[in-house]
Amino acid sequence: MDILGTSLRVCVPDLDAAIAVYERLTGAQAMRFQRGGVSVAAVGCFFLMSGPENELEILRKVTATLAVRDVDQAVMDLQAVGAHIIAGPLPTPIGRNLVARHPDGSVFEYVDVQRAPQ
């Protein structure tokens, strides 16, 4: 599987305040979206998340988000090493994702970016 990059997940109490900080630190502009009851902002390599504690509690169990070239290939590679697919693949605002538990117990989200044909 081609891992193209990693995003760190940060749960914050005030998304707007956190966006200002992370935009300044990274020089990147936030891309906002909603995931259930959680407001998310992607800023550089960070996913800032704010929302109800019961939803954040679940999201905190995911160590990081890994960008991959193809989620279907990730499924095959993960299953080949004994990982358990917890959720997905599912469509997201930017492509598809899945959540997998590795054999060591760590949990990661895998996301591919689907671009429109040119």
Is 61 within a domain? Answer: yes
Asked if pLDDT for residue 29 goes beyond 70, the answer is yes
**Domain residues for 84?**
3-113
* Predicted TM-score of the model (pTM): 0.80
Is 118 within a domain? Answer: no
Is 46 within a domain? Answer: yes
pLDDT at residue 116, rounded to an integer: 43
Distance of CA 21 to the CA centre of its chain: 20
What CATH code is carried by the domain that includes residue 70? 3.10.180.10
Is 25 within a domain? Answer: yes
- Specify the number of domains making up the chain: 1
- For the chain, the straight-line distance linking the first and the last C-alpha, in angstroms and rounded, comes to 24
Residue 17 CA: distances (Å) to CA of 11, 12, 48: 12, 9, 11
Read off the pLDDT of residues 69-89 as tens digits, 9 standing for 90 and up: 999 999 999 999 999 999 989
